[in-house]
C-alpha cells in the first residue's frame, strides 16, 4: 500500500488561512503562522464590532433626533417621553430618518406628541 502524506490537506488549510488574510499588512498575509494568528484576531474584532456598530448607530440616531427636535424648541428626552405617553410607537431609526429627510412630517410628529 502506498505511503500517504498530509501535503494536500496542509496545502489547502494554509491556502484557506492565507486567502482570509489577503489584505493584512506584511507577514500577516504571507507567513502561515502569523497569518493564522492575525485571522483569529480579526474574527474576534469582527464579532466585537458587530455589537459596537449597533451601539454607534443608535447613538447617531439619537443625535439626529435631538438636533431635529431642538430646532422645534423641544429636547430629545421630552420628545421621547411625550411619544411614549401618547402611545406613539416609532423606533429611533425611522424617527431619525424622518427628522433628516422630511422635516414637515417630523414637525407633525412632534406637534402630535406634545399637544
% pLDDT > 70, the chain: 100
In a domain, 43, yes or no: yes
CB count in 10 Å sphere of residue 79: 23
Please report whether residue 13 resides in a domain: yes
User: pLDDT tens, 55-97?
Assistant: 999 999 999 999 999 999 999 999 999 999 999 999 999 999 9
Whole-model pTM?
Answer: 0.76
Asked, for residue 2, whether it belongs to a domain, the answer is: no
φ, ψ for residue 5, nearest 5 deg? -125, 165
Residue 29 located in a structural domain = yes
The answer to the question of residue 105 being in a domain is yes
Query: In angstroms, how far is CA 17 from the centroid of its own chain?
Result: 25
Cα–Cα distance, 107 to 110 (Å, whole number) = 5
Q: Domain count for the chain, please give it.
A: 1
What does the alpha-carbon distance between residue 91 and residue 103 come to, in Å, rounded to a whole number?
17
User: What's 15's domain CATH number?
Assistant: 1.10.1900.20
The answer to whether residue 12 sits within a structural domain is yes
Q: Report CA-CA distances (Å) from 38 to 41, 52, 72.
A: 5, 20, 50
Structural domain span for residue 104: 7-114
Residue 1 lies in a domain: no
pLDDT tens digits, 95-111 = 999 999 999 999 999 99
Is 100 in contact with 64 (CB distance < 8 Å)?
A: yes
Amino acid at each position: 500500500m502506498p505511503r500517504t502524506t498530509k501535503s494536500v490537506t496542509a496545502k489547502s488549510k494554509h491556502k484557506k488561512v492565507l486567502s482570509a488574510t489577503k489584505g493584512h499588512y506584511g507577514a500577516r498575509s504571507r507567513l502561515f503562522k502569523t497569518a493564522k494568528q492575525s485571522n483569529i484576531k480579526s474574527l474576534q474584532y469582527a464579532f466585537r464590532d458587530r455589537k459596537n456598530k449597533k451601539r454607534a448607530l443608535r447613538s447617531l440616531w439619537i443625535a439626529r433626533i435631538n438636533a431635529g427636535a431642538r430646532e422645534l424648541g423641544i429636547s430629545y428626552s421630552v420628545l421621547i417621553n411625550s411619544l411614549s405617553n401618547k402611545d406613539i410607537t416609532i423606533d429611533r431609526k425611522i424617527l431619525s430618518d424622518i427628522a433628516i429627510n422630511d422635516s414637515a412630517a417630523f414637525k407633525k410628529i412632534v406637534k402630535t406628541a406634545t399637544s
